[in-house]
Amino acid sequence: MKTQTHLLHQSKINNNCPECYSTEGLEFSFTQEEKENKLYSRASKEIEESLYCHTCNQQIFPVKWTEDIERVYEYHKKLAKPKSSGIKLKPLAYILIISDAILIGALIYYFK
């Protein structure tokens, strides 16, 4: 299984950083993981969010978020559109399914 991380939405916000009080460093990122193997891929149901301050170079964890940051977070969360978490078959899976169908068809034909 390989895991890929998709960046769904990223946005700079001009709130005060709870650590360094700069209004220029904060950036929200919303990501979603997608696991895949040779036959199919499946995106995770959960979206992970992180708030990073480029001024003091650290991640700001939700316990430090102010009410204003929470509000901005709610707004940006709506903009992060997750990929559907259903199973997506890859071409190899279709090839296997089709070659199985041909094989079964051939057996039915042979034993008729």
Which residues form the interface with Zn ion (CB under 5 A)?
17, 19-20, 25, 53, 55-56
The minimum distance between CB 69 and Zn ion, in angstroms, equals: 12
Closer residue to Zn ion (CB): 20 or 93: 20
Beta bridge partners of 12: 27
Phi, then psi, of 24 in degrees rounded to 5: -115, -5
Closer residue to Zn ion (CB): 43 or 51: 51
Q: How far apart are CA 79 and CA 82, in angstroms?
A: 9
The minimum distance between CB 10 and Zn ion, in angstroms, equals: 17
Closer residue to Zn ion (CB): 10 or 16: 16
Q: How far apart are CA 58 and CA 110, in angstroms?
A: 68
End-to-end CA separation in angstroms for the chain: 42
The minimum distance between CB 51 and Zn ion, in angstroms, equals: 10
